[in-house]
Structures are given as C-alpha cells and as structure tokens.
C-alpha cells in the first residue's frame, strides 16, 4: 500500500496532464521508458487566430536496481515546439513564447526505497505543486491563480513553486499521509524594468546607468517548501503546503529593499480526473511578494483560488468547468514604481468550459472556451489596456496525442 501510494503520487505529479509511458528497454537491473505528448491547437483570442503549440513534451524515465532494495532514478524532459513561433501570449508565458524546437522543462536524478522514501536533485515539480496541481487540467488555459507560474506566467523555477530550479527534494508516505519537503539551493540575480516590451539587455543597461528607479536588479537566493497530502479514502484527499524565500531588490538609484516571498494554502480533491464519473477539486492560497502583475510589478499581497468540476461519460466524452481568481485588490504595488497608482486594481479572473472527446487511450480531440472576468481598473487607459491584453476571451480546438 505504501509503495503504491508513493509511486502513484509521484507519477501523477510528473505527468500532468496525464501521459502514458512506453517501456522501450528492460533487463534484470535497468528499465527505460519514454513518455510525453504532442498537442497542437487552433486558438482565437486577442483579435488573432493562430495554430499554436500546446506545451508538447517528451521525457525519458530511467531506473536501475541497486543493492538493499534501493533504486536509482533519473527523469529528463524537454518541451517540444512542433508548429513554430507564434505571436499570441495567451497563458503560460514561458511556454507560449518558446520558438526553439527543444527546450528544458525537467531534469533530475536521485534514489528511492519502499521504506525510506525518495530523494532527488535537479529541476523538478515543486512540493507546492502537490497542493494545487489537481485543478490544472484545462489543456489550453491552465491556472494562473495558484502561485505556480510566477513572474507574469513564467514556469515557477525562480521561486521554487512550479518547475523548481536547482532543488533537492525528499518524499515519503506513511500510511495514508504523503510528505514532501524541498530546499532550492541557488544564487540568482536578474533585472526587471517597469517598462513594457523592454529586452533583458536593455533593462540591464538601464540599471547600469544608475539614474532610473524603473530598473531593478533582483538577487533571489534559496527557497524552502513543504507539503502534506492525506488520503481520507480512495476518492477524497486533503493537501496543505507552504513555500518561503528571501530576495533583495536593488534599484538603479541605489535603494536596497529586502523582501520575503511567502505562499501558503490548502486544497481538497474528489475522484480522479481520468476516471469515469465526477471529479472535483478546489484550492486557495494567500501569498506575499510572490508574483507580479501583467506589467512586471511585484504584488505585495494577494489571495488566489482555483476550482474545477468535471464529469466523464461512458461514451468517451468528458466535460469540465473551471474557475480561477487571483485578487490583489488596489494599492498592491509595494516598490516606488513611476507608473504605480494607489488606485490601480489587479484582479485576474476567468472561467473555462471544456469538452474532451477520447478517440483512444489518452488521445483526444478537445474544445475549450474562456470567458475573462478580470478587473484591471486604472486611471491610465493605456496601462489598463496593456494589463488586459493577455487576459482576453478565447476559443480553441485541438488534438492531444499521448505517447
């Protein structure tokens, strides 16, 4: 039971959305599996219609038996862009702006044991993702309210709540309780500018001039996280977690500000998304200095929540309704931005209705529609339009092919 719970939980985290793996090699000691999927879609949003990549990926999962019932494990995953570059940034910015055919998503190595658990090193899904991944099942518009894809819809690698960079992580199960802890051990620095469409090199050059507080250098070091998941029965589980980091903002004018990045929250999930019948999940979080608005300005405090309700019929049709809200209220920008008005409002809010038709095992045609309900009110009409640009209504139809 313990082994099944630990391995099933880890597999569910590393393969969201669901993807089967094919064993391509196996002997008495070693096994190699290949997994992932190809997903492409036609999307209409922001006044444009394009064929775009649906975060396609390929991964290789290696295991080797060691002495005393230990196993060595390695997972390598790359994002694949089979359709070329696109102009629409409609969801996860890290994924949608990729124009390279291959780019890194995950890569870690470690060991595991039925009794002593699993320890891994590398770029991997965070412990915080344990808490919130159960609402992340829309194929087009996944959640941007759970504190995962931070820094204006990045991959969450910087502050350790998404695909966490340079992370050591421990996992184990004790009866019905799954425990995960991690430390993200790194020293990062990068430049941010409160200017729309400025390049990284231009932002750094502006900071080097030392005269404009719109340019900042961020020194972001180690972060730490933990999550608990308890299975009340085969269909119902509760999760809770926290992630914390510390970083310094150094303005071009010389001002230095130390800031704590904190997020904590909980979730409840009923059922399994791929099973027949009902599925439901909801999570809520409170965060401080954890994410930015759509112009790259650090948000002081916010509350985020995601929820999904789904039903899969016996005729191979699955439908779902998802709702996400990330509410920072007004007067949410803490640093002295030249373009920050205390009356500016940031409330990212949208609903998604989806229909997935299974044409085979995990191979499906899908239609999803998004209704945007956001509020980015500002006395500056141009700024309000820039904030709203990537949060438009939308419609998409596509095909999802799992390996």
Q: What are 142-185's pLDDT values in tens digits?
A: 878 999 988 877 788 888 999 999 999 999 999 999 999 999 99
Identity of the highest mean pLDDT range in 201-205, 305-309, 362-366, 391-395 = 305-309
SS3 134: helix
State the pLDDT at residue 98. Answer: 58
Q: Greater confidence, 229 or 99?
A: 229
Is pLDDT above 90 for 90? no
Contact (Cβ atoms closer than 8 angstroms) between residue 90 and residue 141 = yes
Which DSSP helix (H) or strand (E) runs through 388?
helix 381-388
CA pair distance 379, 345, nearest whole angstrom: 10
The confidence band for 239, taking pLDDT boundaries of 50, 70 and 90, is very high
How does pLDDT run across 117-143, given as a tens digit for each residue?
999 999 999 999 999 999 999 999 987
Contact (Cβ atoms closer than 8 angstroms) between residue 178 and residue 171 = yes
State the pLDDT at residue 252. Answer: 84
The confidence band for 292, taking pLDDT boundaries of 50, 70 and 90, is confident
Lowest mean pLDDT among 23-37, 144-158, 297-311: 144-158
CA pair distance 105, 149, nearest whole angstrom: 13
State the pLDDT at residue 195. Answer: 73
State the pLDDT at residue 99. Answer: 60
How does pLDDT run across 338-358, given as a tens digit for each residue?
566 778 899 999 999 999 999
Question: Residue 15 corresponds to which tokens in the numbers above?
Answer: 């393969």
Q: What is the pTM of this model?
A: 0.88
CA pair distance 144, 152, nearest whole angstrom: 9
Identity of the highest mean pLDDT range in 49-53, 295-299, 353-357 = 353-357
State the pLDDT at residue 97. Answer: 52
The confidence band for 17, taking pLDDT boundaries of 50, 70 and 90, is very low
CA pair distance 151, 272, nearest whole angstrom: 30
Residue 27's Cβ-count burial label (10 Å; 0-12, 13-18, 19+) is exposed
Contacts of 197 (CB under 8 A, 6+ apart): none
State the pLDDT at residue 188. Answer: 78
């Amino acid at each position: 039971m313990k082994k099944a719970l630990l391995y099933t939980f880890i597999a569910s985290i590393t393969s969201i959305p669901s993807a089967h793996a094919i064993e391509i090699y196996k002997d008495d000691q070693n096994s190699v599996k290949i997994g992932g999927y190809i997903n492409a879609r036609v999307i209409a949003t922001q006044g444009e219609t394009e064929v775009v990549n649906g975060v396609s990926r390929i991964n290789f999962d290696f295991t080797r038996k060691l002495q005393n019932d230990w196993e060595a494990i390695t997972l390598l995953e790359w994002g694949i862009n089979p359709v070329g570059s696109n102009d629409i940034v409609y969801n996860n910015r890290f994924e949608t702006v990729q124009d390279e055919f291959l780019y890194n998503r995950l890569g870690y190595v470690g060991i595991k044991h039925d009794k002593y658990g699993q320890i891994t090193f590398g770029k991997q899904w965070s412990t915080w993702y344990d808490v919130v991944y159960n609402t992340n099942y829309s194929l087009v518009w996944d959640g941007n309210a759970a504190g995962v894809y931070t820094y204006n819809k990045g991959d969450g690698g910087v502050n350790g709540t998404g695909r966490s960079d340079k992370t050591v992580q421990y996992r184990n199960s004790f009866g019905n309780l799954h425990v995960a802890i991690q430390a993200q051990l790194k020293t990062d620095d990068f430049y941010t500018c409160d200017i729309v469409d400025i390049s990284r090199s231009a932002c750094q050059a502006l900071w080097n001039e030392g005269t404009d507080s719109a340019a900042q250098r961020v020194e972001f070091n180690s972060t730490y996280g933990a999550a608990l998941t308890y299975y009340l029965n085969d269909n119902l589980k509760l999760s809770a977690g926290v992630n914390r980091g510390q970083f310094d903002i150094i303005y071009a004018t010389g001002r230095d500000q130390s800031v704590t990045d904190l997020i904590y929250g909980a979730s409840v999930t009923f059922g399994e998304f791929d099973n027949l019948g009902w599925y439901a999940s909801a999570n809520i979080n409170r965060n401080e200095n954890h994410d930015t608005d759509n112009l790259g300005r650090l948000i002081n405090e916010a509350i985020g929540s995601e929820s999904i309700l789904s039903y899969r019929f016996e005729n191979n049709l699955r439908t779902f309704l998802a709702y996400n809200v990330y509410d920072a209220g007004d007067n949410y920008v803490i640093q002295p931005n030249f373009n920050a008005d205390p009356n500016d409002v940031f409330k990212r809010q949208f609903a998604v209705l989806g229909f997935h038709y299974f044409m085979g095992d995990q191979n499906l045609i899908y239609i999803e529609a998004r209704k945007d309900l956001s509020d980015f009110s500002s006395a500056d009409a141009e700024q309000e339009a820039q904030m709203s640009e990537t949060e438009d209504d939308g419609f998409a139809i596509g095909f999802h092919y799992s390996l």
